[in-house]
Structure 1
């Protein structure tokens, strides 16, 4: 996968998300937003995190997940299950995690505003990303 930003770019996001086998790859990085695709193995998660200055939009293209969010790392009082075609809105400053509770890799794309990862980021695995 290649990061095409900040050049003009169009993509079939469903195909690109489903084809991705990396934990995370940036597809487009601009000044104000960024598109990444993710593949989360069965039983694994995106990883508990917070983005103080970034809103985030995530969409599941494949799989089933458990979304947890809250005001503190140890207070994730928002808890919902999601599946194919569902979206998740993460406000800046909210601790959040998405866990794959299905029986296949969870395929997700995420849009950050503004960009969160360096242009061209590819993380083969969650461990590499950490």
Structure 2
């Protein structure tokens, strides 16, 4: 059994992206976006994503629509949908997200967005094949 107090785990995460658990069909990841930062404009062709925001303030940009993000906001991003999440506040924007199927390397830790982008570009951030 894997048991987390997910809000506490997410709030204690200092890293841009940290993969907590990877299963055959889904993956649990925590993220911390610094003030003025963003996840980056992207499309996951084959993965659905659910993001739950635990602290901070920001803006969701999904399929051409914009919405304010506050604590307890939850956004669903279907596979193939362009999206970005931007920290518009003065504190970190903290969230946990579930990908289905997994999108990142198991147990991956990327301290910054730049580190995450470099790992993806180098092909070092691929989910395990099952």
Q: TM-score, normalised by structure 2?
A: 0.88
Map of 1:46 onto structure 2: 39
**Distance across 1 between alignment mates of 2:94 and 2:49:** 16
Other-structure match for 1:74: none
| Structure 1: segments with no counterpart, 5+ residues | 1-7, 71-76
Match of 2:110 among 123, 126, 130: 123
Alpha-carbon displacement from aligned partner over 1:109-130 (angstroms, at most 9, x marks no partner): 0100010001111001000011
Q: Which residue of 85, 90, 96 maps to 1:103?
A: 90
Cα offset for 1:57? 0.3
How far is 1:85 from its partner? 0.6
Indicate which of 74, 77, 80 corresponds to 2:67.
80
Inter-partner Cα distance in structure 2 for 1:120 and 1:82: 27
SS in 2 for 1:58: strand
Counterpart for residue 3 of structure 1: none
**Aligned counterpart, 1:73:** none
- Is 2:79 the partner of 1:92? yes
Q: Indicate the RMSD between aligned Cα atoms, in angstroms.
A: 0.6
Q: Provide the residue aligned with 1:59 in structure 2.
A: 52
